Structure 1
Amino acid sequence: MLRPCSHGAEKYGIDASQWRAHMCGLCLGLRDGHGQLARTATNTDAIVLSVLTEAQLAGPMARTTAGPCALRGMRRAEVAPADAPGVLLAATASLLLGSAKIRDHVDDRDGSVLTRRPMAKVSHRWADRARGQAERIGLDIEPLVGAIAGQADLEHRAAGTHRTVETSLSEAGRGPSISLDELTGPTQLCAAEFFAHTAVLAGRTENVDPLREAGRHFGRIAHLADAVEDFDDDRARGRFNPLAVTGTTMPQAYDLLRESESALRAAVAEAQMADMPTVRWILLDPLHSLLRRLRRVIGEPIAHACTTSAQHVARRADAPHAHRGGTGHRPPTRRPDLGTGIAIVLGVYCTGWACCAEHTSPCTGERKDAWASNCDCGECCDCSSCCDCGDCCDCDGCGCCCDC
């Protein structure tokens, strides 16, 4: 979900390798603490926990030199230490979520019958390792384990109620007995407690409540974004989707996403951060980009703050990616070229390059250099503060567009 852009790092004056430093630190932390197989549990969204922990600390951050790795082109790199508190927290989250995901596949009877028992063993082992590591960093993980375990029961109840309401004329006008907020509750709880614990590890207890609120909305965004992206596929395969069973429309889901993004930003702004630019680059900006992508998936018309003239409006109307209204519309995606495909396969996302491989102006649909160089206002490409739609910023006439 979080895809920080190297051009955004340049805008904030941050070394773009910082994201890779945290990701490699998490991967190596899983290897050192739990074996080679545990490296497959590396969760790129969990990296934000390591980033948030460091961002609340003053002074230079500790780094260690990692050996050559194929995903870095067999180069060495300076990475976060595997025993750093933030890395340990991110590893705990990765193991817990990885265990839950494997268990879901086993319960859904995905894959071969022969693989289910080994997968179940891996799931149990990772859950036990997550408990042990959580105890090491002082995190009470049992409520989170219970919430994740209860997710399946919530979904079964919601699906059963949904079928009953559909087939019973007497209940045709009654809403679902389980709300969308209840269905996303376990995800909200887990993210909230993980975010809050970054403040505990950093010794910034005044940040516990704001970050818990930020984490709650992060979990809600994660759950709803997954439901929106998988909606058509879930319906085609007869799988559970929280939007379908609660009767939530795509525009309503998008409104909830925007509400949570706004609340998350307010909560992060309330917290006391020693390194706010890195938090904006790795957490806030990617979330804003996620909402833009989801709006295109939904097919809602996208307004731009830079459409200040009739000529610009006409130019955008002719843009290749201009979307008109209509729900359920998924615009055609561009087939990636060979270079982009190879970069993705070889893990070039580690460098931040691939996220900007398709950098295109949202106003004209034309290829554009990242971050207009003729703009002297420091926040011009910070879409969150320049415009409501999040795609362009007029910024007193400089006219730069942001689509990274």
Structure 2
Amino acid sequence: MAHLCGLCLALRGDHGQFARVVTNYDGLLISVLTEAQAERTTGWRRTAGPCPLRGMRTASVAQGEGARLAAAVSLVLASAKVRDHVVDGDGLLARKPVALAARRVAASWGKAGARTGSDVGFDTAVLIDAVDRQVGIETLAGLGTPLLTVTEPTETATAAAFAHTAVLAGRPGNAEPLAEAGRLFGRLAHLLDAVEDRETDAASGAWNPLTATGTSSAEARRLADDALQGIRLALREVVWGSGVSSGKHSADSKLVHVLLAHELRRSVDRAFGTSGCGHAPEGSLGPDASFGPPPQHGAPQNPYVGGGNPFGGGPSFQPPTPGKRGFWAGCAAAIGLCCTCKVCCADEYEGPWSRRKREGCLSNCDCDCNCCEACECCECCECCSCCDCGL
């Protein structure tokens, strides 16, 4: 929450209140990684005043270049997403006056992101280039096109953002392994989004990378598992704050461990409908060695999303799935969720765009791993030797 609020306040501080609507959980990873690598000094956190999104409570929030880099990335990618919706004519954006206003907002966000990126030494052109190339690649892709050709622009963009956190934290030696971790994180995000949207895309006639390239679910799962393993191996090479590396936990790296080792595996299992133990043994990253159901932490564009049957009706029970909201309707729903604190505090709420069921980000952890009696899996204690993530 400190990083989420820090991203939100960085957006407000540099770009005004309206920019806060692009706050997202993928973006806060940039802030998390930056702080986890830095030497523990003062200045990384501050006490923020009361906010209606926190029930008018104060909070310790992240600040500094990590939060500003996260803000820059979020703005540029949100700008690209709005432009994409305009091109597709989604919902109200099919109307010319609304589309014109949306284009102006997208252009404003793109310029704002570029300015903030420049302030922290990050060239957002790599993100814009990736978005532009994505459109061309999807236009040309067809049956037989390798799926990794389609995911490449996303991989390139996330690799650049992850790698720059090493520069901000004063750990240039971490840039290479973090670029690899970011590349694979981008691949995984793209894959999970495609898997989760495959049925709805087929029903609506929307473009889906798995359908377009003829990629089977089994092959998508193999690529996802390879990405998970690659992220874990790459993170083993990262030196965290206070010089901690080689599988030892620092206080700040525990959150990295939870997000990029535990939650990613759970997200894969949720997307592919599998479950199992919370720690996959080395070399066993298939469906039989997977994580159980995660708490939901996602925004519509990130991998921490879920589905399933919240009513427990069994395989034969299929509650109707409501249709997705358009961009502006989703924005209105998102503002309502934030103002009522449901995103933070509700046991369950409906995603503003996808309308999938999600759990509040402050709901209790439901990790039920039993790999070893001494291991408190949710706390990632150092006595745990059954996790192979290397953090």
Q: TM-score if structure 1 supplies the norm length? A: 0.70
1:357 Cα offset (Å): 5.0
Q: Which runs of 5+ in 2 are unaligned?
A: 242-251, 280-306, 313-335, 348-359
Among candidates 331, 340, 346, match of residue 346 of structure 1: 340
1:110 and 2:90 matched: yes
Alignment match, 2:59: 77
Alignment match, 2:373: 375
1:94 and 2:67 matched: no
Task: Give the alignment of 1:176-191 within 5 angstroms.
Answer: 176=144, 178-191=145-158
Task: Give the alignment of 1:21-40 within 5 angstroms.
Answer: 21-40=2-21
For residues 40 and 140 of structure 1, do their structure 2 counterparts lie closer, same or farther at Cα, with a shift above 3 Å needed? same
Aligned AA (1:377): C
Cα RMSD after superposing both structures: 3.0
Aligned length: 310
1:229 Cα offset (Å): 0.5
For residues 270 and 183 of structure 1, do their structure 2 counterparts lie closer, same or farther at Cα, with a shift above 3 Å needed? same
Among candidates 181, 184, 193, match of residue 214 of structure 1: 181
1:283 Cα offset (Å): 2.8
Measure the CA separation in 2 of the matches of 1:268 and 1:225: 21
Measure the CA separation in 2 of the matches of 1:144 and 1:379: 36
Alignment match, 1:149: 132
Indicate conservation of the 8 Å contact 1:22/1:47, yes or no.
yes
Among candidates 235, 247, 262, match of residue 214 of structure 2: 247
Indicate conservation of the 8 Å contact 2:278/2:369, yes or no.
no
Among candidates 214, 217, 231, match of residue 264 of structure 1: 231
Aligned AA (2:151): T
Alignment match, 1:318: none
Indicate conservation of the 8 Å contact 2:159/2:186, yes or no.
yes
Q: Which runs of 5+ in 1 are unaligned?
A: 1-19, 163-174, 307-329, 336-341, 362-369, 391-404
Superposed CA offset, 1:125-170 (max 9, x none): 1111111111111112213211211211111112xxx3xxxxxxxx
Aligned AA (1:346): T
Alignment match, 2:266: 289
Measure the CA separation in 1 of the matches of 2:122 and 2:38: 19
Among candidates 67, 72, 75, match of residue 49 of structure 2: 67
Indicate conservation of the 8 Å contact 1:227/1:243, yes or no.
yes
For residues 35 and 286 of structure 1, do their structure 2 counterparts lie closer, same or farther at Cα, with a shift above 3 Å needed? same
Indicate conservation of the 8 Å contact 2:177/2:238, yes or no.
yes
Indicate conservation of the 8 Å contact 1:371/1:381, yes or no.
no
Indicate conservation of the 8 Å contact 1:188/1:216, yes or no.
yes
Aligned AA (2:166): A
Alignment match, 1:124: 107
1:245 Cα offset (Å): 0.8
Measure the CA separation in 1 of the matches of 2:185 and 2:375: 30
Superposed CA offset, 1:165-185 (max 9, x none): xxxxxxxxxx53x32111111
For residues 31 and 205 of structure 1, do their structure 2 counterparts lie closer, same or farther at Cα, with a shift above 3 Å needed? same
For residues 305 and 110 of structure 1, do their structure 2 counterparts lie closer, same or farther at Cα, with a shift above 3 Å needed? closer
Indicate conservation of the 8 Å contact 2:188/2:227, yes or no.
yes
Measure the CA separation in 1 of the matches of 2:164 and 2:387: 33
1:115 Cα offset (Å): 1.4
1:380 Cα offset (Å): 8.8
Aligned AA (1:291): V
Superposed CA offset, 1:218-272 (max 9, x none): 0000100100000000000000000001111112111111110110011011111
Alignment match, 1:172: none
Higher relative contact order, structure no. (Cα contacts within 8 Å, ≥ 6 residues apart)? 1
Aligned AA (1:103): R
User: Which secondary structure does the structure 1 equivalent of 2:47 belong to?
Assistant: strand
Indicate conservation of the 8 Å contact 1:217/1:263, yes or no.
yes
Superposed CA offset, 1:333-368 (max 9, x none): 338xxxxxx98883354469725758768xxxxxxx
Indicate conservation of the 8 Å contact 2:344/2:361, yes or no.
no
Which structure has the larger Rg? 1
